[in-house]
Chain A
Amino acid sequence: MPAFKSDQSLDKLYPKSNTTSSTDTTPAKPSTAQQFTGHIPIDKLEISYCRSSGPGGQHVNTTNTKVTVQLHLQSADWIPHETKLRLQELHKNSINKEGFWMIRSDKTRIQMMNVADCMDKIRCYITEASKPLYTPSIETLEKIRLNRERAAIRRLEQKRIRSVTKSSRRSVD
């Protein structure tokens, strides 16, 4: 018995699309050593759960809502090298001796949402670390140098004035 197909069936509305569910589970734009596209390979991460802190009575005492995502930074071939160095610098407090970067979250009461929060954090941190370092322009450097010079001149001027005031208070020998 052939399946019922009306004029609004999906193969008529979208003739170019494949109507069966995904057969290809590889991502369209995976992250590589050249560029971080925002895609994180989930099998390279290690997700563990533990109990959260804070108020909540029996529920917080018994449910594992805190999520820790571990990833080994140096062996991550999906993050560019320069980004890795910058991450090492920025998040040195979260990276342990073995080189594992630990990202934790106990933002919500639900474990699933805390996992999502960890993923969001990783993505944001890597994106931030991928951005080029701020190098001030020549005009800015010149402005800073001039400001410092003027400040020094002012400071010495004030010093001279103060000195005159103080010496005028001393008795004339």
Chain B
Amino acid sequence: MSSPTEKALHLLRYLPRVSLNNLSPNPYFKKKTYKVGQYRPREKINKSNRERLRFWPVGYEGGRVPFYLKIPIEEYYKNHKYRRQYPPLTLFQLQLMIDNKAIDPEEPIDLTSLCNTNFYRIDPRFNHFGVHLTDEGCNEFRAKVNIEVQYAREPVIAAIERNGGVITAAYYDINSVIALHRPMDFFQKGEPIPKRMLPTEDAVEYYTDPKNRGYLADPQKVEEERQILAQKYGYKLPDHSRDPIMNIRKDPRQVFFGLEPGWVVNLRDRQILRPTDPDLNQYYRD
């Protein structure tokens, strides 16, 4: 035909447009890459005491953190990325939600009810394991509720119980939290409802303590503690025997009210599929 140049130009007419995604690096101009940890020559720009025959400041230990700065060790944020977090919700906000009919006090309240209001949100990706009910607004709180939280202190427990309500502190592992805080998104996945795991070692003490109204605490002792708290804060304890709502509690392995672990909720066909295998059923009850 013709010269190589002409052949190349002829080809160009049929090739795609040159852009950044169809260029290849020039094999003759490779930049040297250093692996992590490998020695690489670095430019020394600034001169320190070392280069000027001066004395280092008192306490200098050759570059490592000196003793007088290291001690005392204040590990407030150590492993903060791995520790459980409980975003706070005040009693005032809770009362507001109830007054604005975002939450129905006639039904038991748990993390799902709180997240469904869209006023309170948590994100399990940030290690949010549930709700921490705080005591701001404890005096203005007037609702009678059966509420399940993940952490609550004594004044909060007193504020809820003096209005005739019931509060329980319950633990949910991260998979259960993911299911619980956005149930519709979870059901759309088509996964079986998980078996809620028991609390980790550091949390067992909290959730088995009747003073905290832990869900794994002895109910008899919880009743005694209710009496003690009523005496401490100066209110009369109501009788719950005539109120069936106040006695509704989840099983320690249950994630949703009315649904068992192992069930698959089919939103499309509006069905619930239950496992029939006895071994599987036993697993979800162990």
Contact = CB atoms under 8 A, between A and B. Distances in A.
Tell whether A pairs with B: yes
Interface stretch (B68-76, B172-180, B238-246): B238-246
A138 interface: no
A106 B241 CA distance: 36
Interface string A44-59: 0101000000000000
A54 to B, nearest CB: 18
Given A25-B237, A112-B138, A6 B231 contact: no
Given A17-B219, A22-B223, A112-B138, A42 B235 contact: yes
A96 B249 CA distance: 49
Contact of B224 (A10, A28, A116, A118): A28
B260 A10 contact: no
B218 interface: yes
Interface string B198-228: 1000000000000000001011110110110
B155 A112 contact: yes
A113 B249 CA distance: 29
Given A7-B286, A23-B239, A119 B234 contact: yes
Nearest to B240: A21
Given A14-B218, A112-B158, A112-B233, A21 B223 contact: yes
Nearest to B220: A17
Contact of A13 (B155, B195, B216, B224): B216
Interface residues on A, range: 35 or more
B139 A110 contact: yes
Given A14-B219, A21-B166, A22-B226, A6 B239 contact: no
Interface string A1-43: 0011111111001101111111101011000000000111011
B251 A19 contact: no
A112 B142 CA distance: 12
A47 B162 CA distance: 15
Interface string A67-79: 0010000000000
A25 B244 CA distance: 16
B284 to A, nearest CB: 8
Contact of A21 (B198, B247, B285): B247
Contact of A20 (B162, B216, B247): B247
B139 A27 contact: no
A119 B232 CA distance: 7
A18 B138 CA distance: 29
Contacts of A116: 158, 232-234
B139 A111 contact: yes
A115 B234 CA distance: 6
Given A8-B198, A10-B219, A110-B138, A22 B237 contact: yes
A102 B19 CA distance: 89
A40 to B, nearest CB: 7
B227 A4 contact: no
A113 B155 contact: yes
B252 A6 contact: yes
A116 B232 CA distance: 6
B138 A9 contact: no
Contacts of B235: 42, 115
Contact of A18 (B220, B227, B246, B249): B220
Contacts of A120: 232
Contacts of B247: 20-21
Given A4-B251, A8-B253, A25-B239, A19 B234 contact: no
Nearest to A113: B155
4 nearest CB pairs, A to B? A21-B240, A6-B253, A23-B241, A17-B220
Given A14-B218, A42-B231, A119-B232, 5 more contacts: A17-B219, A21-B246, A45-B234, A111-B139, A116-B234
10 contacts: A4-B253, A4-B260, A6-B252, A8-B252, A13-B218, A17-B219, A21-B241, A112-B139, A113-B155, A116-B232
